[in-house]
C-alpha cells in the first residue's frame, strides 16, 4: 500500500538507487518480513525505474 504512493513520487533510478531501497524497508519494519513482502514490489519498482532511466 505504501509502495504505490512511493512509486509515482520516485523521480526515476536516482530514487531507486538509495532512498527507494530504504523507503521500501522502512514502512515494513522487520528485516525478513520487509525482504519477503518487498521482494516482488522492489523488483517491479526497479524495472520501472530502470525503464524510466533508459528512456
- Residue ranges of domains in the chain: 13-53
Looking at residue 35, its pLDDT comes to 52
Query: Buried b vs exposed e over 31-53: b needs ≥16 C-beta within 10 Å?
Result: eeebeebbeebbeebeeebeeee
Residue 13 has pLDDT above 60, yes or no: no
- To which residue does cell 519498482 refer? 45
Looking at residue 15, its pLDDT comes to 46
Per-residue pLDDT reduced to its tens digit, 19-51: 554 554 455 555 555 455 556 777 778 888 888
- State how far Cα 31 lies from the chain centre: 15
**C-alpha cell, 29:** 519494519
**C-alpha cell, 23:** 523507503
What pTM value is reported for the model?
A: 0.28
Amino acid at each position: 500500500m505504501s509502495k504505490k504512493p512511493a512509486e509515482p513520487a520516485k523521480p526515476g533510478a536516482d530514487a531507486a538507487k538509495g532512498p527507494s531501497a530504504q523507503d521500501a524497508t522502512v514502512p515494513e519494519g522487520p528485516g525478513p518480513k520487509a525482504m519477503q513482502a518487498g521482494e516482488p514490489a522492489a523488483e517491479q519498482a526497479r524495472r520501472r525505474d530502470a525503464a524510466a532511466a533508459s528512456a
